[in-house]
Amino acid sequence: MMERSRAEDAAKWGWALLIWGAPWSHAAMTLGTVWVTLCALLVLKQRRTPSKSSGPLIWLLGLFAWGWLSLLWSDNLDWGLQLASIQVTLLTLAFSWHVVPRPDLTAKWVFQSAALAMAGVLAWGAWRVGQGEVLAGRDWTPWTSHIRLAMLAALGWVWGAQHQSKTNLLLFGVLWAFFTAVTGSLTNALLWPLALIWVLWGRFSPSARRGLLAGSAAITLTLAGGMALWLRPVPLPVPRAELPAFTAQGHAYIHHPERVVSEGGHRLHLFLCPTEWEDAWSQISDLPLHEPNAAGFTVRDRLPRYLTSLGWPKDGEHILQLSPQDVRAIEEGATHATPAKGLRLRLRELRREWEVWQDGGNPSGHALFQRIAHWHAGWHAWMQSLWVGHGMGDTSSAMEQAYVQLGSDLAAPHRHRAHMQHLTWGISGGLIAMLLWLGFARAWHQGIGKHSRVALWGGLVVMLSCVFEDAWETQAGVVISFLALFGAFQRPAQTD
């Protein structure tokens, strides 16, 4: 056994900075990356290091090298160089992992770092709520995104199952569930049950695993069936022929029974009488019906939805019945008489997205369905330069052109990038980049993933995160992806 050098011992402080700093500080991640890289260079200078699963590193180098080469046919070099500087972090960390050993405490640190980050987020958010602030889901995670914390939590829970007590694992799961509830993150809602199954699978006997599979399948089918029932259109309150034609003031109602958008379990496009809105609203509020608020919405946008959530017709008679509290809520932008937060609000928004899509509405601002539009545009952009892509620097301009060519319904502020790392490789580097990406995935599985359940879990987390976002285009994304891909695999012992 070769004696550990001082550089190898010192490297653990760099790994610690990365793991503990990832949820909080870009500076900590940068310093940790520089630290472990310098330690790795010192080790290489002192002696030869045995080869250790170099296949993934070679494929990763090839993938990034092709991306950097694509800058030659990119117009936006500033953006391309910015991306290159971010992605080189993952390459240098993978190189350092190849040379200096990770600490045996890595899994424990990830577990503790994720728990501390979620506890800190909840405490900070609770304090702000106590000060009277109203927090949206994203407001709970000011230091890093909820998707990054979801990835770290997923790693921490599964890796923690190797050394933590049942009590600690249970507390971690409860903490993560609270975090998911307040942020309303669908990524967390997906990873939480998957991580739970992965943890239980490792602890159960073979016979119990069959029961776990059966139970998981039954719960999944039940949830899917429940979701399908929940997403069914709200039934009409009365048969079409019995819908009233006139309001109490004698004006005609407008009914669109073919449209399914609802609010609070009631159809939005029934019992509409816009003719009466302005006069009635002016009697209970000084805020003009058509004046936009700070977010760009008008009372006219909010009023019919709010009345619908109460189950009331949208006419002058019922506008005059609104309480002062209702009026204030509408003026402040409320669309529902019963406020919701966190996951409950996210589910409410998901139902509305689904119903708007069924009615052929615009997906702009709807996180899930506008993402489908992003993917559609991304695929179109890739097909315009199938073999070599548009270049790392020009993915944004390629997407802009795709939206125009497709005649996308998305409003300009919502015409984002692909939000899928798998697809972004194709847009930036074409089929060659996609083949290199798949080659890296295969080499990683052969060299690392198939040797350990906890390592394989890290690969699954990265794969899923790359479906939901451009995970390798932020510093926190590449650092946590590195931990997921390489952090659970123990380097073979060095020998003479």
Report the pLDDT averaged over residues 453-464: 95
Q: In this structure, what DSSP letter does residue 253 have?
A: P
| Mean pLDDT value of segment 408-429 | 94
| Angle CA 495–445–44, to nearest 5 | 35
State both tokens at 329: 């809520």
234 phi-psi bin (left φ>0, alpha ψ -120 to 50, beta other): beta
Cβ distance 485 to 477 under 8 Å? no
The pLDDT value given to residue 319 = 98
pLDDT of res. 2: 44
| pLDDT grade for 69, boundaries at 50, 70 and 90 | very high
> In the prediction, which pLDDT does 489 show?
74
Flag whether pLDDT at 328 surpasses 70. Answer: yes
Long-range own/partner contacts, residues 75-82 (CB < 8 A, 24 or more apart): 75/391, 75/393, 75/394, 75/397, 76/393, 76/394, 76/396, 76/397, 77/393, 78/393, 79/392, 79/393, 79/396, 80/391, 80/392, 80/393, 80/394, 81/393
DSSP string, 58-88: HHHHHHHHHHHHGGGG-S-HHHHHHHHHHHH
* Single-letter code of the amino acid located at 83: L
Q: How many CB atoms lie within 10 A of CB 432?
A: 19
> How confident is the model over 210-242, as pLDDT tens digits?
999 999 999 999 999 999 999 999 999 999 999
User: Could you give the CA distance from residue 107 to residue 87 in angstroms, rounded to a whole number?
Assistant: 24
Q: Are 86 and 124 in contact (CB under 8 A)?
A: no
Res. 161: pLDDT tops 90: yes
Positive or negative, the CA dihedral 448, 453, 457, 463 is positive
Task: With a cut of 60, say whether residue 11 has pLDDT above it.
Answer: yes
Angle, helix 55-69 to helix 421-447, in steps of 10 degrees: 160
Q: pLDDT tens-digit profile of 163-193?
A: 999 999 999 999 999 999 999 888 999 999 9
Judge contact between 254 and 274, C-beta under 8 A: yes
- Per-residue confidence band for 476, with pLDDT thresholds at 50, 70 and 90: very high
Measured distance CA(362)–CA(75) in Å, rounded:
32
Once rounded to an integer, what is the mean pLDDT over residues 338-342? 90
**Rounded to the nearest 5°, which phi and psi values hold at 284?**
-120, -5
Kindly report the number of other CB atoms within 10 A of residue 214's CB atom: 10
From the CB of residue 439, how many other CB atoms can be counted at a distance below 10 Å? 17
Please give the share of the chain, as a percent, with pLDDT higher than 90.
Answer: 81
Sign of the dihedral defined by the CA atoms of residues 64, 33, 470, 111, in that order: positive
What are the DSSP calls for 444-475, one per residue?
HHHHTGGG-HHHHHHHHHHHHHHHHS-GGGSH
Structure tokens at 207: 């016979």
* pTM of the predicted structure, to 2 decimals: 0.90
Q: Which tens digit of pLDDT belongs to each residue from 342-366?
A: 889 989 999 999 999 999 988 888 8
pLDDT band at 54 (very low <50, low <70, confident <90, very high): confident
Q: Rounded to an integer, what distance in angstroms lies between the CA atom of residue 121 and that of residue 141?
A: 6
pLDDT tens digits, residue range 100-130?
A: 877 788 899 999 999 999 999 999 999 999 9
Whether 49 shows a pLDDT value over 60: the answer reads no
Give the pLDDT band (50/70/90) at residue 47: low
Q: What is the mean pLDDT of residues 438-458?
A: 94
The answer on pLDDT for 495 being more than 60 is no
Q: What local confidence, expressed as pLDDT, does residue 297 receive?
A: 84
For the four alpha carbons of 51, 52, 53 and 54, in that order, the dihedral sign comes to negative
**Least confident among 295-304, 441-450, 472-481:** 295-304
Predicted pLDDT at 496: 39
Contact between 412 and 437 (Cβ < 8 Å) = no
Read off the tokens for 351: 């139902």
Nearest to 80 by CA among 351, 358, 391: 391
Radius of gyration of the CA atoms of the chain, in A = 27
Task: Tell me the C-alpha distance between 197 and 355, whole Å.
Answer: 32
Asked whether the predicted pLDDT for residue 43 surpasses 80, the reply is yes
> CA-based diameter of the chain, in Å?
96
302's tokens: 């909010």
Amino acid 132: pLDDT: 87
For 33, 244, 266, 290, the CA distances from 251, given in Å and listed in that order, are: 69, 11, 22, 21
The sign of the CA dihedral 89, 94, 99, 100 is positive
Return the pLDDT at 491.
55
- Classify each residue of 347-386 as buried b or exposed e, where b means 16 or more C-beta atoms within 10 Å of its C-beta: bbbbbbbbbbbeeebbbbebeebbbebbbbbbbbbbeebe
Predicted local distance difference test score (pLDDT) of residue 366: 80
Average pLDDT, integer, range 368-397? 96
Task: State CA 394 to chain mean position distance.
Answer: 24
